[in-house]
Amino acid sequence: MTQPRKIVILGHFGVGKTSLIRQYVDASFSEDYLVTVGLHVKKKDVIINDNTVTLVVWDIEGHSEIASARASYLLGSSGFIYVFDVSRPETYANLENQMEYLKEHFPGIPIEVFGNKCDKFKDEVSKVFFETPPFNSYLFTSAKTGENVEEGFMQLTIKTLVTT
């Protein structure tokens, strides 16, 4: 049994952070928009190489800048998932600066970036993002269909095991 892994989901409001967590933990999706006020925590046990890893997933309220999030929410994190909405350029316009902030303030903590809502804009996503650095290295997800959600969380979980 390994120690629990604290995973914090970051990004602007309305990008689908809560929906991604619900899809991952509960295998459910709702069209209802739920605003996260403060913090909501969910847990999920996963098996990796015959070991059970408990993910403690922190869903924090959306911020346009990570520096605006409560520092106490970020402390002790094993990994971060930064989510942007492929249909809203303002949610990824400052992506490189956001990643630099995390790398500077939380060195060595793995980060996955999810471009969410790719089900709505599949053609646009493939044209705009998949061939454009740095986006071609990010994972495109759909909380609605579940596309790449499990894979993204698993990739991050494995990285958290390597960094400890």
What domains can be seen in the chain, in order of their start residue? 5-162 (3.40.50.300)
Give pLDDT tens digits for 88-146.
888 888 888 888 999 999 999 999 999 899 887 666 555 566 555 555 568 889 999 99
| Cα end-to-end distance, the chain, whole Å | 14
* Strand ordering across the sheet containing 39-48: 39-48, 51-60, 5-10, 79-85, 111-116, 139-140
Q: How confident is the model at residue 46 (pLDDT cuts 50, 70, 90)?
A: very high
How much of the chain exceeds pLDDT 70, in percent? 79
